[in-house]
Amino acid sequence: MNYLIKTLNASVYDVAVKTPLDEAAELSKRMGVKFLLKREDLQPVHSYKIRGAYNKMRSLPAEALRKGVLAASAGNHAQGVALSAKKLGVKATIVMPETTPEIKINAVKAYGAEIVLHGVSYSDCAEEAARLVKTLGLTFIPPYDDPDVIAGQGTVGREIIDDAGADIDAIFVPIGGGGLAAGVSSYVKKVRPSVKVYGVEPEDSDCMYRSIKAGRRVTLETPGLFADGVCVKKPGEETFRLPQPFLVMATQNPIEQEGTYPLPEAQLDRFMLKVVVTYPKREEERQIVRMNNLGEFPKAEAVIKPEDIVRAREVVKEVYMDEKIERYIVDLVYATRTPDEYNLGKIANYISYGASPRASISLAAASKAYAFIKRRGYVIPEDVRAVCFEVLRHRIGLTYEAEAENITTDQIISEIINAVEVP
């Protein structure tokens, strides 16, 4: 999805206004940093929600609009849909939580929308809205989990960049379902990659934070109700989606660690590979010195497209792995946990904890990838051994005895590879 193009083509200004960036003078003075507020409270419905709602409705076929539209909202999206429907001459029905303040209910009614009160959270309203869509044949206007809605909200980011340009270092965006954050970040990171975009959630309604941490969408059992506008049990599928291919890399200085916080074992385990990068060779280092002296550096050229990488990932999954190879992989990992079972008692005192089941999964996946690189459609034991060090070296904990004797994880892995029977 090219959200840059969708945001540039978004139709919002028939009902929305371009809002200013006002400096929060007192806050800027107190913090020693210039703070700007994006004044979306100046919109006709006092919220940015009008942007996504109207853009979505403008993208609908005429037949869908004639049937009428339906929305589920705690108030701001409801007002955006109601005003957009009034502008377009469309009937609107809004499902709102029973806890919605009366002032918001009256505001929605003032635009001519019909109100249905149900449940206590947005998720409750969404379930009821899904039922009404089927029974009444109305068109649902999602508050965040929709490309057209996201693109409409993305015009907030477009205006920030247009107005402030290079003066912006970071943007802080509230998160409920993630529509505004997805829209702003997808635009800003394309046109101004150096700008950092931070999502902000209440501690008691932090479904997006928990989802990103877990690597999957997480549903909250009881989200907090105080901030009703961001009271969402589960982030949207589209707003949570990470761009593909997506890769997380981290670096570790082998000499100086003071002032840094080592990652817990459970987080290290989530990294598939640990690759050791050595010093350059003499001739390589001479070339580095020359390039720095002359100020002439080679230009990186793209050799593959992102979609090709995604396709290659799918092809790698089809590489055949025999059951004997699977057992071999499990044996290698188990030897890190129970070395005595593999006649490796001499290294048992050096291991405080062994590799997890995630190591077995990663070793299998890496072996398939290595076989693919070697232009084979099947995995052999040499493929497993070729990637074994990278997969296991950050997943084996060393004891004090090992550190005292300068024993490394690579040495332990070598012992294991030599001891475990090859199929």
Of the ranges 6-15, 77-86, 160-169, 403-412, which one carries the lowest mean pLDDT score? 160-169
Q: Higher-confidence residue: 324 or 248?
A: 324
- Residues 353 and 333: their CA atoms lie apart, in Å, by 11
* pLDDT score, position 231: 60
- Residues 83 and 80: their CA atoms lie apart, in Å, by 5
* pLDDT score, position 214: 72
Band (401; pLDDT cuts 50, 70, 90):
very high
* pLDDT score, position 356: 92
| Sequence-distant (≥ 6) Cβ neighbours of residue 311 within 8 angstroms | none
Please provide the CATH number assigned to the domain covering 247-423: 1.10.8.80
Fold for domain 1-243? Answer: Rossmann fold (3.40.50)
- Give 283-313 pLDDT, tens digit per residue: 999 999 999 998 888 887 878 877 788 788 8
- Give 236-290 pLDDT, tens digit per residue: 677 766 555 666 677 776 666 565 566 677 778 888 999 988 889 999 999 999 9
- Give 42-97 pLDDT, tens digit per residue: 999 888 999 999 999 998 888 888 889 998 887 788 889 999 999 999 999 999 88
- The DSSP symbol for 318 reads T
Residue 187 has pLDDT above 70, yes or no: yes
* pLDDT score, position 399: 93
* Residue range(s) in the chain whose domain bears CATH number 3.40.50.1100: 1-243
Inter-CA distances, 76 with 43, 88, 140, 153, 383, Å: 11, 18, 16, 13, 56
Region 336-354: mean pLDDT is 93
pTM for the predicted model, two decimal places: 0.57
* pLDDT score, position 230: 59
Region 200-210: mean pLDDT is 76
Q: Structure tokens of 364?
A: 């299998």
Nearest to 224 by CA among 128, 122, 73: 122
Residue 404 has pLDDT above 80, yes or no: yes
Query: What torsion do the CA atoms of 318, 320, 323, 326 make, to the nearest 10 degrees?
Result: -70
**Distinct helix (H) and strand (E) counts, the chain:** 20, 10
* Residue range(s) in the chain whose domain bears CATH number 1.10.8.80: 247-423
* pLDDT score, position 260: 58
Q: Quick one: what percent of the chain has pLDDT higher than 90?
A: 42
* pLDDT score, position 255: 64
- Residues 374 and 96: their CA atoms lie apart, in Å, by 58
For residue 134, give the amino acid letter.
K
Band (223; pLDDT cuts 50, 70, 90):
low
* pLDDT score, position 281: 93
The mean predicted confidence, pLDDT, of the chain is 86
